[in-house]
Amino acid sequence: MSAVIEIEGLRKAFHSLRRGRRVAVDGFDLLVESGQIHGFLGPNGSGKTTTLRALLGLVRADAGRMTVLGRTSPEQLPQVAGRVGAIVESPQFFGNFTGHRTLRLLARAGGVPVARVDAVLEQVGLRDRGDERVKGYSLGMKQRLAVASALLKDPELLILDEPANGLDPAGIREMRDLMRSLAEAGVTVLVSSHILAEIQLICDHVTIISRGRRVAAGRVDEVLAGFDRHELLVRVDEPARAAELLTAAGLTVTGDGDHLVVGDVDDAATVSRTLGEAGLWVRELTPLRPDLESAFLELTGAPAHPAVPRQVDETVLPDQRDREPVIDLDAKGVDA
Ligand SMILES: Nc1ncnc2c1ncn2[C@@H]1O[C@H](COP(=O)(O)OP(=O)(O)OP(=O)(O)O)[C@@H](O)[C@H]1O
């Protein structure tokens, strides 16, 4: 497997008038290999968007080494730009244009054959809706139109910043199916998100960022294995008595009501035997597998923040919302 994205020691600080210098990304590393659907997870403000913007040359990094498809970023990015599709800044669409017309315009502007438009509409499941005006699209359809615009170039690498943000469960499912079909078609996908359950379902690899630093990376199942507490959910009559017996047998027992959670269990038979010998019959014995949600909480000290609805055709760019005035160091050529 070859590296499609490599980031080593990325640093980026912003200077704001009110709060002074703020380090957004602090020595961050990321490795995405070809064929992966790679989840990029982190709490609100942990540095995901800044990382992606730096990778794509939209903001200048203070330090670090980055490559995209084997070329250094940002210097050699133009050499591979035609092979990379990205939605990091929310694209703006004209509500009065149809999806088809929007993509035709973008195809012409990007020097892509207009014949690609039908192909990408088909790919994102908008073929039958391409002749409708964008203002009549649901949020999920607008997100898919945004993905379609990134697919016009038939990219090998697709970078999506929070593609499921603000979507309802049906929209999230559509986005998930779309990413899966892209991966099956051989596209490498890097997707940032805070919707952990979705990342767990969609992605094979994950990198977790907290306060600008990488706190975990690897295959999703391997990252989760590090959080396996070998716990079992146990349902039994007389749970209070069962808890006493299991504690006396050296196990950790928590839980209330009609079930117990028994920890540090190497062999489930220990539980059923201990209870069975005392005449208590186990009605349910289920291993509790760690999920990304709890791993994330433990690693970052923060719960995944609730979805912030963000529409792809919002008139306000994300950077203009809830942000203080910023000294644009890039424009002034000043080092942070
Ligand atoms: N243009 C900017 N000016 C000033 N501060 C910024 C700017 N962009 C990002 N920051 C700050 O850098 C930190 C990281 O922000 P970033 O947007 O990269 O996080 P994120 O992980 O993408 O968050 P979210 O999930 O909310 O999108 C935050 O403290 C943010 O306020």
Contact 78, 72 (CB under 8 A): no
Do 43 and 148 belong together in one domain? yes
pLDDT at 315 over 60: no
Identify the CATH number of the domain in which residue 201 sits.
3.40.50.300
Between CA 305 and CA 96 the distance in angstroms is 33
Do 246 and 141 belong together in one domain? no
Do 112 and 254 belong together in one domain? no
pLDDT in tens, 159-214: 998 887 767 777 778 778 888 888 888 899 999 987 777 777 788 999 999 889 99
Ligand 1: list residues with CB < 6 Å.
Answer: 14, 16, 22, 24, 42, 44-50, 194, 319, 323, 326
ipTM of the predicted structure?
Answer: 0.96
pLDDT at 52 over 90: yes
pLDDT in tens, 225-269: 777 778 889 999 889 899 999 999 888 898 767 789 988 787 888
- Regarding pTM above 0.90, the answer is no
Between CA 157 and CA 49 the distance in angstroms is 17
Do 58 and 197 belong together in one domain? yes
Count of structural domains within the chain: 2
What confidence score (pLDDT) does residue 256 get?
67
Contact 6, 69 (CB under 8 A): no
Do 241 and 328 belong together in one domain? no
157-161 β-sheet, strand order: 84-87, 157-161, 188-193, 37-41, 205-210, 213-219
Ligand 1 centroid to Cα of residue 312, in Å, is 18
**CA proximity to 65, closest of 40, 26, 29, 13:** 29
Ligand 1 centroid to Cα of residue 61, in Å, is 14
Which residues constitute the domain of residue 196? 3-225+297-332
Do 250 and 321 belong together in one domain? no
Do 132 and 188 belong together in one domain? yes
